[in-house]
Chains A and B, each alone.
Chain A
């Protein structure tokens, strides 16, 4: 099973700040890495697919990069509505796995 390790687990940030969340895979997964945003009482949303492709309708301040084992989700100029938990997910091999999540709090 491929283990995905996100860092940090929690981050408190101010609006307009730039945020970087990393996801490290226990073995190479190519570009089969996706990022999601989860908020209470809302359905989970896909942000970035295949490491760096933005999903339709996602604000341009969200971007992704990386390949192999190391990946990054970047949020430029953070907004209050970005308070959420973010998960990475690999679809390279079964069983599909998720990172443990990164909770972003807005100060």
Chain B
């Protein structure tokens, strides 16, 4: 059974940093691209970033480009999101999602339950 478990969320002040993690199990992690998707309270889904199986292709939403960095460690079956220069508008539930393909561009077949990030002074 595919499992994606996010962690690392919490309350942080504007301008500070946070690192999210996603622990994957139940599938061959390095066969698939992975993504981060977020959802602000009461709002819809927003794609944040994606990374191909070998980290060779990476993409970001304009709203986080230059501030967030996605990475993965295939040996540890883990996905990460380094979030710097946090803003109030980054407050959201952050989901880890598994792509259907090795190079992102497919559907998001499995999702985690999310980790909540709150940016406030």
Q: Judge if A50 is at the interface, Cβ distance under 8 Å.
A: yes
Would B113 and A55 count as touching, CB distance under 8 A? no
Minimum Cβ distance to chain A for residue B94 (Å): 13
Comparing A11-19, A69-77, A96-104, the segment that makes contact with chain B is A96-104
B45 contact from A1, A49, A87, A94, Cβ within 8 A: A87
Residues 85 to 107 of chain A near chain B (Cβ within 8 Å): 87, 89, 91, 94-101
A43 within 8 A of B: yes
Interface of B is mostly: strand
B32 CB to nearest chain A CB (Å): 14
Closest to B95 in A: A44
Chain A, interface residues (CB within 8 Å), range? 20 to 34
Q: Counting CB contacts under 8 A, is B44 at the interface? A: yes
Rounded to whole angstroms, the CA-CA distance of A50 and B105 in the bound complex is 11
User: Across the A-B interface, how many residue pairs have beta carbons closer than 8 Å?
Assistant: 57
- Chain B interfacial residues counted at CB < 8 A: 24
> Which of B45, B95, B113 is in CB contact (< 8 Å) with A89?
B45
With A and B bound together, what is the CA distance between A100 and B104 in angstroms? 22
Q: Known contacts being A43-B113, A95-B59, is A87 close to B108, with CB within 8 Å?
A: no
Do A91 and B106 touch (CB < 8 A)? yes
Query: Is B44's CB under 8 angstroms from A99's CB?
Result: yes
Complex-state Cα separation, A86 to B47, whole angstroms = 16
Q: Give A contacts to B, CB under 8 Å.
A: 1, 32, 34, 36, 38, 43-46, 49-50, 55, 87, 89, 91, 94-101
What are the nearest 10 A-B pairs in CB distance? A49-B107, A96-B47, A34-B107, A44-B111, A98-B45, A43-B111, A101-B44, A94-B59, A95-B61, A100-B44
